[in-house]
Amino acid sequence: ETGVTQSPTHLIKTRGQQVTLRCSSQSGHNTVSWYQQALGQGPQFIFQYYREEENGRGNFPPRFSGLQFPNYSSELNVNALELDDSALYLCAARDFSSSYEQYFGPGTRLTVT
Amino acid sequence: RKEVEQDPGPFNVPEGATVAFNCTYSNSASQSFFWYRQDCRKEPKLLMSVYSSGNEDGRFTAQLNRASQYISLLIRDSKLSDSATYLCVVYWEGAGSYQLTFGKGTKLSVIP
């Protein structure tokens, strides 16, 4: 077990709606990264939070935003959903100071219709 | 040019075969390298790190050539349970942040 959980497991939304995905990790995982994985592709880096501040971002528009909380949980928010946002969304947690290894959650599969 | 490129696959091999995956990366400042394994509809899981001297973990051997910006993974004596997608991953760290860049993945099917 990675100690990283995500909710919900699956989600169906309509184009133009907003969605919030959640991730929870164990104590000590002070860094969380979010990835988008479209079908047949590798995960694409969205952004990263360290101690509740965003400190890295991939090539995603501002309608993708996030939060990290003191209890090691995190949120990914996507506004104005588009059909191309349909993907598996993965969060990965890590103790930045001690290990390279990231622990992935099981992902949330988002379908936008 | 994509940041991390892998063999397109899929690879369909019989049990017991040896199979090799290749990967190239474009960012010469990349610091660490990994192979992840991803089972169908599951999250990626770290398979092994890749070191310049080459490293082995049981039936798996990983190699890195920094000059050529090339990474490889060799699987010997393939098992049915090796069937998965193998992701080449490049790690960069700097200015208090880091990023993992994933290849598209190569799908392996081991056939009885």
- Please tell me the predicted confidence (pLDDT) of residue B8: 76
* Shortest Cα distance, chain B CAs vs residue A104, angstroms: 6
Q: Are B104 and A50 within 8 A, CB to CB?
A: no
At A63-105, the pLDDT tens digits run 999 999 988 899 999 999 999 999 999 999 988 776 677 889 9
**Cβ atoms B55, B48 nearer than 8 A:** yes
Q: Are A106 and B87 within 8 A, CB to CB?
A: no
- Please tell me the predicted confidence (pLDDT) of residue A1: 66
Q: Does A108 touch chain B (CB under 8 A)?
A: no
From the list A40, A45, A50, the residue facing B100 with the nearest CB is A45
Q: Are B104 and A41 within 8 A, CB to CB?
A: yes
Q: What is the mean pLDDT of residues A39-51?
A: 92
- Please tell me the predicted confidence (pLDDT) of residue B1: 60
The fraction of chain A above a pLDDT of 70, given in percent, is: 97
- Minimal-distance CA residue of chain B relative to A2: B45
- Half-sphere exposure for A4 (CA within 13 Å, toward CB): 28
**Cβ atoms A15, A81 nearer than 8 A:** yes
Tens-digit pLDDT string for chain B (112 aa): 668 999 878 999 999 999 999 999 998 888 889 999 999 989 999 999 998 888 999 999 999 999 999 999 999 999 999 999 999 999 888 777 778 899 999 999 999 9
* Shortest Cα distance, chain B CAs vs residue A14, angstroms: 22
Give the best residue of A10, A23, A37 to mutate against chain B (max B CB count within 10 A). A37
A29 forms beta bridges with none
Neighbour count for residue A98 (Cβ, 10 Å): 9
- Minimal-distance CA residue of chain A relative to B98: A56
